[in-house]
Structure 1
Amino acid sequence: MWEELFNQTEFTYECNDNSLVVLGNAVEVLKSMKPESVDLIFADPPYNLGKDFGNNNDKWDSMYAYIDWCKLWIEECFRVLKPTGTFYFMTATQFMPYLDIYVNEHYNVLSRIVWTYDSSGVQSKKIYGSLYEPIIMANKGPKNNYTFNHEEIMVEAKTGATRKLIDYRKTPPQPYNTKKVPGNVWHFARVRYKMDEYENHPTQKPEALLERIILASSNEGDIVLDPFSGSFTTASVAIQNSRKAIGIDLYEDYFKIGLRRTGITTEYQGETLSKDRSRKTKNKSKRDHL
């Protein structure tokens, strides 16, 4: 099945019926994929913030070099996305406006989402510290159909469920609904050391965030792609929800996490793959996906 999605497979990969895990450069692997072959894409690339992850720095020569690189993988993602597919991606708050404009000029921005969370440490004393990360939800064009399973992602409506108010606009008046479709501000705790879902990776995204995206924007049996897989949360959550997953990462350590979390194998080149519960102190950046 998986070979049908690629023009060539000159990279290291392992697979089973539900998952394909690829060790390789994200842009190059995307270029090898056939067009219009996946239903949903979630991309969480390096943020170009200059963080030292132990082996290298997540830093491009300039902001414009970073934006140009982002345009490369964004174009490849839209190329492999089906006409009815949906594409979510993230980056740092200071760079998202450039990519937002680019995507809306060439494709179609459906929603601008804010993922907000509480701080775990001391905030800046000179400016207002950042407590959110932006997410763009987009598709190929304003006339394209796309999947949005609103009934799968309903949340508690506090006005109706907690305050028990009456909506007098209805005839006859009725209590407000206790459930509603979430808005574009999402509150999910960041993944922290010693949490059950924690993997040994510096920028792991919460399973709950990925579950909302996957349930809303794909159906059972659909193919979900994450070109910067890292901890392989996207692939893991996709499989748990009866989707098929493609995950790509440049680093072998994270490739092995993907093999384990997607259920492909518990052993790789003689090494037993088990969850590393230690705290990462010298983490590899995802920067070298370029």
Structure 2
Amino acid sequence: MKIAKKILTIIIIFAAIIGIAGFLILPYVIKPVLTEKISETLHRETSIDQIKINPYAPSVTIRGFKLADPGQKMPFVVFNELYINAAVMTSIFRRALILDEIRLNKPYLGITRKTDGTYNFSDLLPKEETKKKESSKPFLFSLNNIQITGGNIDFHDMPNKTSHTVRDLQLAIPFASNIDYYMKNYVQPRFSAFVNGHGVAIGGKTKPFLTSRDTSLIIDMKNIDVPYYLQYVPVKMNFKLTGARLDTNIHMNFIMPREKSP
């Protein structure tokens, strides 16, 4: 009995230490380090309101993230909350990164196309393409319950002196995985948003990591102002379209058999 009590006491003390470290210490240590590293890497001022760690779940919650846009009043990237729940024991057992849930709430992205044709993120793009040797053992992962809610995007097109907006962006992906067991199952993503005030919805099913790329999509768009978007066509057109509205309900199927054309 005494040995059992000692073991139980050790377990309780160990759990308490993990709890104190996770709930109270780690967030205050990680927050300044993370903001500094992101700022240095992206050359943009970064701020985070709060980081919460639950070592028992285990999960990480980041609240009030803001990435500044140099020289602009509006930020480049903002989100209200990012929640990540990891399956630690399953990850260890399968030797893969397995996340049970990824939830991003109220993200915002501000994109600006400058007068010289570059974008406010052009400096973040790689300068040269470097060919990496393909590893014989791919990095295995399974990302589950991916959700983006209440997203907003502002696109400022300075050369054309116009702006585009995406409001109430909703994205749900049940899972994305390159583990054999999951690769044979269909992923059924759902996307919806209001683009310049017009509703757009995309749904379907796909096996993105199989060689067949077996995919079925449904694209539903209503009341799209066609002339408004024709100005972005990169080729010169020999006609002028003064007015047209587009409604679509397209069903698309795609499959690429091994060593054959799609």
Q: Which is richer in strand?
A: 2
* TM-score, length basis structure 2: 0.23
> Greater Rg, structure 1 or structure 2?
2
Query: Which structure ranks higher in relative contact order (CA pairs < 8 Å, sequence separation ≥ 6)?
Result: 1
